[in-house]
Amino acid sequence: MTLNIREYGPAGGPEVLAIHGITAHGGSWAAVSALLPEHHVIAPDLRGRAGSRDLLGPFGLRRHADDLAALLRARGGSPRVVAGHSMGAFIAVALAAAYPELVKRLVLVDGGLPLELPEGATPADTARLLGPAAERLQRVFASVDEYLDFWRAHPAIGPYWPATWDAYARDDLIGTAPELRASASVEAMIADGAELYGPDWYLAALRSLRIPVSVLRAPRGLLDADPLYAPGAIEEFRSLVPQLRLAEVEDVNHYTVLFSDRGAAAVADAIEHP
């Protein structure tokens, strides 16, 4: 079995590989793709998620990078722009470091640079650190409406409800009512999340990058409050990635930086214009 792939835009257009976040799926790139009408966006469901849920572990950033390298080689192997959101940005870095011939440029959306663990936490605390997004993976929902209500109560989604969120959330469900579940594997989430805090191999991967790297930062985070990266934190990584270019996207959170009109426009612009 190979990765399930979602594709947007005209065949033959400049190809972009778009990598989703830790509990998400490839449909999270729909809003950005709509703003890149001349590009062909390849947005796979990662191992352990949605249409690729039945692909078993081991998981981890490097395993995902291997999967994506195989995908790109099967499509000709020429270097592409690679964009990643949240954990997808970390996978993009791992891919570019291990397979530099496949990646022309990186666009990292509120991710890709090692996170700071809260005091007293360990990398194994992924589920707790992700909050409601992780909590839903262990819940059963009686109906699609109940699942949508879960997201309407989420502080980073409900007050904004991006135009593409309804379809995205519906496509996240597996099973049949009254036993519906979010599609991402808890095992995959925990294994992948443990590598977001800067293990030595990942710092070496960042240090090895020689291609252009753009980072888009959201000023608000997973719960529409504290950001994933505090102001000034990303600049500290210039010693590892001197060519890093940082852009702040105004008035978005960790989710709406990808799903809202404002956020999607900023991400599409970063993909289209080096």
CA-CA-CA-CA torsion sign (30, 263, 133, 21): positive
Percent of the chain exceeding pLDDT 90 equals 90
- Reported as a single tens digit per residue, the pLDDT across 49-70 is 999 999 998 999 999 999 999 9
pLDDT, tens digit, 9 for 90 and up, residues 263-272 = 999 999 999 9
> What's the 3-state SS for 156-184?
CCCCCCCCCHHHHHHCCEEEECCEEEECC
Using only C-alpha atoms, the chain has a radius of gyration, in whole angstroms, of 17
Alpha helices in 75-213 (DSSP H): 87-98, 126-130, 132-135, 144-152, 165-170, 186-193, 200-208
**Which two three-digit tokens encode residue 123?**
């990398």
- Which pLDDT score, from 0 to 100, does residue 226 have? 95
pLDDT surpassing 90 at residue 160:
yes
Tell me which amino acid residue 249 is: V
Domains of the chain: 5-119+185-272 (3.40.50.1820)
| pLDDT band, residue 120 (cuts 50/70/90) | confident
Q: Is 251 left (phi over 0), alpha (psi -120 to 50) or beta?
A: left
Q: What is the mean pLDDT of the chain?
A: 95
